Amino acid sequence: MAKHRNRLLAALPAADLNLLETQLQSVQLEKRRVLEAPNKTVDYVYFPETVIASVVAICGREERIEIGLIGCEGMTGLTVLMSDSKTPHSTYVQVEGEALRIETEAFRKLLAQSASLHNRLLRFAQVFTAQIAQTALANGRAKLEQRLARWILMAHDRTVADVVTMTHEFLAVMLGVRRASVTVALDGFEKKGVIEARRGSITVVDRKAIERMAGHFYGVPEAEFRRLIG
């Protein structure tokens, strides 16, 4: 098995990993910690280990929605890969835990130093783009039940246990729907026996069934990940 819990790091060739490792710093990140704020310079690039972060698009005061989820399979700060240092989006911790991080400027130097590293990580940017696109598709065409199933699957992919700590309220914000709609939908899930819902947490019981519920709306970015990162 790989040395790193972060799968993106684990998949790096030794030379590139060595470059990074000297500057990586381990941190514990609490829930709701903001990693990137809209139109602010990114200070650190994070490689989550057990943390899961949400990337959220915002416009105006009220309109916001989650466009992607980043956990142990990836990294934040994709804008730095794009030779920039800001994004209009917000990124914050959804499930607390550990992550490795590196200062933006140091990271930028490493990218300039190793085209191989840069290219490797750009492939993850491609995966994440596919994830955003899939979110756009699901938001436009899927029923709430399917979208919720998709979200649970994505969160499940990024956790070690089968439990996701998350209130209906927060989930509603992520999906851009009413809190009550989430409650009703999750209730349906539990009655079908595919999850167990507790106050503030969801436990995956029958993953296969959830995958069937999500239908084609789950899987495309995940296949891209396997193809490009492995």
Partner DNA sequence: CCGCTACCGTACGTTTCCGTACTGAGAAAG
Partner DNA sequence: CTTTCTCAGTACGGAAACGTACGGTAGCGG
Sheet strands side by side (includes 52-59): 34-36, 90-95, 52-59, 63-70
Please count the residues of this chain forming the interface with a copy of itself, following the rule CB under 8 A: 47
Binding mask of the shown chain, residues 54 to 93, with x at each position contacting a copy of itself by CB under 8 A: ---x-xx--xxx-x----------xx-xxxx--xxx----
Site for DNA in 189-228 (CB under 7 A): 197-200
**Dihedral over alpha carbons 30, 150, 37, 126 (to 10 degrees):** 120
Tell me the backbone φ, ψ of residue 71, rounded to 5 degrees. Answer: -130, -145
Residue 52 · residue 163 · CB < 8 Å: no
Binding mask of the shown chain, residues 133 to 162, with x at each position contacting DNA by CB under 7 A: ----------xxx-----------------
Residue 77 · residue 1 · CB < 8 Å: no
33 binds, among a copy of itself, DNA, none (CB under 5 to 8 A by kind): none
Among the candidate windows 91-99, 126-134, 159-167, 181-189, which touches a copy of itself by CB under 8 A?
A: 126-134
The answer to whether residue 15 forms part of the interface with a copy of itself (CB under 8 A) is: no
From CA 124, how far away is CA 117, in angstroms rounded? Answer: 11
Among the candidate windows 46-54, 98-106, 162-170, 218-226, which touches a copy of itself by CB under 8 A?
A: 218-226
Give the tokens for residue 61: 């005061």
From CA 124, how far away is CA 72, in angstroms rounded? Answer: 12
Q: Which residues bind a copy of itself (CB under 8 A)?
A: 57, 59-60, 63-65, 67, 78-79, 81-84, 87-89, 112, 115, 119-120, 122-123, 125-126, 129-130, 132-137, 139-142, 175-176, 215-217, 219-221, 223-224, 228
